[in-house]
Amino acid sequence: MNADQFQLQYLCLCSIISLFLCNRITIMKSNKSLIWTMVALIVTAALYRIIPGRPWGFAPQIAIALFGGAVIKDKKWAFALPIFSMFLSDLLYQGLYSAGLSSIYGFYDGQWLNYCLFALMVLIGFMIKKINLVNVFTASLIAPTVFFLLSNFITWSGLAGLRGLNRPFTFEGLLMAYNDGLLFYKGALLATLFFSTLLFGGYYLLTKNNTAAAQAVHV
């Protein structure tokens, strides 16, 4: 099995798991059910992020942040979803790096700013007051764009302790820094659109089916 086939099969598996978890979110009755469902979603997203050969920026965490902000009533879990998922995947990356199995290290100076950006993505999710195609699509375009603009500005400015490719502190240097991140932005944009479709679409359909079933019981 080559890397592309492995990525496709894992992506399909993540899709199935995500749809199952969306169903769990619509029917769960207790805090215990909520906790285990969130843990499963966190672990699934974290494992996907460390998949070998994954396209740059193509990860579900921004979509999960939007989904958590829009759907989950318990706001602490809305913030916990993407941040815990990022932390777990960073921890796994660091373990692989320390073992010599990956060239990507998990922890670095100023990383807390990256987590703050994911918290901001949750706030964007809060603004999705009604789950429909237009609102989800708009948020899925805005969130990765905001993340791209802020994260690359932070890297260029040195606020995170790292300066990327050390672009000069000029307007041209800033544009160069944004150009450096275009590949990540493209991947993040496509991933957010894909996983938002999966999460919000699955949630909508399953909620609709559960509502119809409940109405049928009362007829």
Q: Give the pLDDT confidence score for residue 33 in this predicted structure.
A: 58
User: Which among 71, 72, 55, 62 is positioned nearest to 11, based on CA atoms?
Assistant: 55
Q: Give the pLDDT confidence score for residue 6 in this predicted structure.
A: 46
**Residues of the chain under the 50 pLDDT cut:** 1-3, 5-6, 9-10, 13, 16, 19-20, 26-30, 212-219
How many beta carbons lie within 10 A of that of residue 46, not counting itself?
A: 22
What's the whole-model pTM score? 0.80
3-state SS, 73-123, equals: CCHHHHHHHHHHHHHHHHHHHHHHHHCCCCCCCCCCCCHHHHHHHHHHHHH
Q: Give the pLDDT confidence score for residue 30 in this predicted structure.
A: 47
Q: Give the pLDDT confidence score for residue 213 in this predicted structure.
A: 45
Q: Give the pLDDT confidence score for residue 11 in this predicted structure.
A: 52
